[in-house]
Amino acid sequence: QVQLVESGGGWVPPGGSLRLSCAASGSIFGSWPMGWYRQAPGKQRELVATISSAGNPDYADSVQGRFTVSRGNARNTVDLQMSSLKSEDTAVYYCNFRHLGATYWGNGTLVTVSS
């Protein structure tokens, strides 16, 4: 079984920055793809950014150039540095981990961008 623990999130004014972190633990061997998704009120969950086990990132068009996804120092950890935040970035952000054909989700952390 795999568990995901997220940290970070909170309130930030428009133009501000936040950093999210996620760590996967459990019966895991090797490094695996990880990423972040988000779900705004009344909307479907959408991809924000993913990163391969080799560290290759991929971003949604809406966050390209503003967000940076990276693998943490520990194996199977992922960070999301968010800058130039906009009100439309307000959402619950979920960590995503894919391992041996299964997909795991964190509980989500709320990011609120408002003045």
Residue type, 101: G
* Residues 57-84 pLDDT 10s: 999 999 999 999 999 888 889 999 999 9
Phi, psi (rounded to 5 degrees) for 87? -60, -30
What integer is the mean pLDDT of 24-39? 90
